[in-house]
Structure 1
Amino acid sequence: MLLGQALTTAMGILPHTNLEDAQKLALSLDIPFWPQLPHFRFKEDMYAQFAEHFPGMSIDEANKRLSFSSQRFAQELDEYLEQGVTPEYFALDRDSSAAFNGFLSTDLSSYPMIHGQTVGPISFGLKICDEELKPMIYNDFVREILYEFLHQKITWQYNQLQRVHPNPFVWLDEPGLEMIFNSLSAYTYEVALVEYRTFLSKLPGPKGVHLCGNPDWSFLLKAKLDILSVDAFSWGHILVRYVDEVKEFLRSGGIISWGIIPTLTSELCSETADSLTDRLLQLWKFLNQQGLDDALLFDRSWLAPSRCCLINGDGTASIERSFSLLREVSKNLRTR
């Protein structure tokens, strides 16, 4: 069972352009990660970062654009299936992961766990459209290949992390889950849940998902995850209303990574470690009233920034402060 107890971590994307500073920040948490740095170069954008070798995909770095052609997909599929029997075919390109190899060369033995990350299949499939502006995920065969493609990408990454630490995991960044079950979506809850569970069951190590929005929480709480990372600062009051699902998830050993520390400058300026600790404890108080005691909540909880943030006008200063507050809130809970 995964260790909870207010361990600190974060989702992976940082606004830095200096690799050393980004890695130092990532290593300041209990569960460190290799940073994704889209401000450093476009190929570090999480969609571009994991698009290499997907049939029919083009990465236009100059114009910062990804495009997908269903016609080229059909033409390139045989080559992909032939080359895809080699694990190295799914390796992270050095040009799209500046911090990855440096992370692997760091002494990580003092940390209880480490993590990597990848874009999730639902977000990838919704974001990237074909030449008719139809999201890839609505093409049944393309979606099947996409799930398998990301399975292979994650497996390769996990194996690299496992070479340097006995307890790695690779979680999925899934902002698209907030949109997929709206009235316009052609990808139904029932089909998606079956396919997502099957996909997760194939992944090595603990299975985790992060998203910043407000999705159908029952979908994720029932998806057989080990780790659910949420923007609890914005949406925790809604998550805790899924009382039965949250109870089952935590009692079965799941971890909720509570993103209780805001990352926007405008939100950070009015918060302190004490105010954020109180904000989290108010969420826990509601769950206390539903039969979940603090001992279980503490044992099954991690803490994190609420979301990735690339838009602050102060560069990296707000993110640095968010991480500092995160460590303080964790200390508050551990000494409470």
Structure 2
Amino acid sequence: MPIPGNLLTTAMAVMPHTDAQKAQELALSLDIPYWPQLPLLSYYEDMYVQASEHFPGIVLDADNRKLGFSMDKFTAELDEAMAHFEDPEYFDVSPDYSAVYHHFLDLDLSGYPAIRGQLEGPISFGFNIADENDRPILFDDTVRPFLLEFMVKRINVQLDKLKAKNENAFMFVDEPGLQFIFSALSGYNDVKARQDMEYFFSLINRPRGIHLCGNPDWDFLLNLDLDILSLDTYSNGERFVGYTSGIKRFLDRGGVIVWGMVPTNFEPFDQENLDSLTLQLENLWGKLEAKGIDRDFLLSRSLISPATCCLVNPDKTKTVEKAFALIRNLSGQLREKYGLE
């Protein structure tokens, strides 16, 4: 089983730290660690900026923390990008765009049950990057096909690097933008998105999955050819467990669900504790069990994590660090209760 379950812990990569070493130590404290993304340390650490490295047409203004796109620049730089299409290193995250990625790869990670990487996905990237006319590049029929191929290259090279450190490495494709494709105002409907995402994931090496904190059409995601799905269970769990048949199909074909249960925002975190979060999570599992999903099987295919990332707490890193400690305690208590290895 390349992606372990049994309620082991992992987390979202975006962290509020400006101390790269401390952030990496915190990530390494979980069962399935990852390399952190630290946008408060540098704009180059922003998840959209990291994904934009070497993408033709990108206009990056790091001083003013702005990321844009020029079609003229895209046309001028496309041949250069295509000339590197068989060069894996061209698509990897460079040291300039991550304070910890290459340090993470220098560590001995073989003793962990798995490790994880991440990159922003093409739907969210294409929604958030706009051209000179303020039009998202996802809507451009010239740019979008190249965008899909470009992000495939970036994800696969990172996964190859991670697998060299731990054979059970896997990738999150971060796709917060997927919740918007079901809006008539998006300009990009779910039919086209499904076609593009099915093609996109067919080119990505396994194991691969999606993380998002929003509330999309869950059947859309559960029916994609994913190995893992990570969500904000704390906010969206009640709606998610209503998709019982999709969840059952996903689990039966080997999928793993990451239950994001511990809030990292200051106010909701302050209102919860180990017992209250345990009760909420077990209530969700109970609803699935009542509809025919065996609980032991479900837990064997489940991880747990914080609900979201958070950069805006008044106490900076303290609540996030408390949430990591709480998710470890939640995992330990539940694993003991259910007799999990």
TM-score surpassing 0.5?
A: yes
CA contact (8 A) 1:168 1:205 kept: no
Cα displacement (A) at 1:3: 2.1
State whether structure 2 residue 23 is matched by structure 1 residue 22.
yes
Three-state SS of the structure 2 residue aligned to 1:313 is coil
Three-state SS of the structure 2 residue aligned to 1:324 is helix
Residue 201 of structure 2 aligns with which residue?
Answer: 200
Residue 185 of structure 2 aligns with which residue?
Answer: 184
Alignment partners' CA distance in 2, 1:329 and 1:279 = 12
Cα displacement (A) at 1:194: 1.7
Q: Which amino acid aligns with 1:29?
A: L
* TM-score scaled by length of structure 2: 0.96
Residue 168 of structure 1 aligns with which residue?
Answer: 169
Cα displacement (A) at 1:57: 0.6
Alignment partners' CA distance in 2, 1:228 and 1:3 = 13
Alignment partners' CA distance in 1, 2:331 and 2:142 = 45
Residue 237 of structure 2 aligns with which residue?
Answer: 236
Alignment partners' CA distance in 2, 1:155 and 1:259 = 25
Structure-to-structure mapping, 1:256-267, within 5 angstroms: 256-267=257-268
Cα displacement (A) at 1:272: 1.1
**Large movers: runs of 4+ above 6 Å:** none
Q: Which amino acid aligns with 2:181?
A: I
Alignment partners' CA distance in 2, 1:206 and 1:109 = 17
Any gaps of 5 or more consecutive residues in structure 1?
Answer: none
Cα displacement (A) at 1:191: 1.7
Between 1:82-91 and 1:93-102, the stretch displaced more is: 82-91
Residue 55 of structure 1 aligns with which residue?
Answer: 56
Residue 114 of structure 1 aligns with which residue?
Answer: 115
Alignment partners' CA distance in 1, 2:164 and 2:252 = 31
Three-state SS of the structure 2 residue aligned to 1:92 is coil
State whether structure 2 residue 58 is matched by structure 1 residue 36.
no
Cα displacement (A) at 1:186: 2.2
Cα displacement (A) at 1:84: 2.4
Q: Percent identity?
A: 47
Alignment partners' CA distance in 2, 1:86 and 1:102 = 22
Q: Which amino acid aligns with 1:327?
A: R
Alignment partners' CA distance in 2, 1:53 and 1:27 = 29
Any gaps of 5 or more consecutive residues in structure 2?
Answer: none
Alignment partners' CA distance in 2, 1:128 and 1:334 = 42
Q: Which amino acid aligns with 1:36?
A: Q
Alignment partners' CA distance in 1, 2:34 and 2:70 = 33
Cα offsets for 1:86-114 (capped at 9, x unmatched) = 11111212111100111111121210110
Cα displacement (A) at 1:23: 0.7
Structure 1 vs Structure 2 CA RMSD: 1.0
Between 1:75-84 and 1:112-121, the stretch displaced more is: 75-84
Cα offsets for 1:143-177 (capped at 9, x unmatched) = 10001111111111112112221111121111101
Residue 157 of structure 1 aligns with which residue?
Answer: 158
* TM-score scaled by length of structure 1: 0.98
Cα displacement (A) at 1:85: 2.5
Alignment partners' CA distance in 1, 2:108 and 2:75 = 44
Three-state SS of the structure 1 residue aligned to 2:52 is coil
Residue 143 of structure 1 aligns with which residue?
Answer: 144
CA contact (8 A) 2:262 2:306 kept: yes
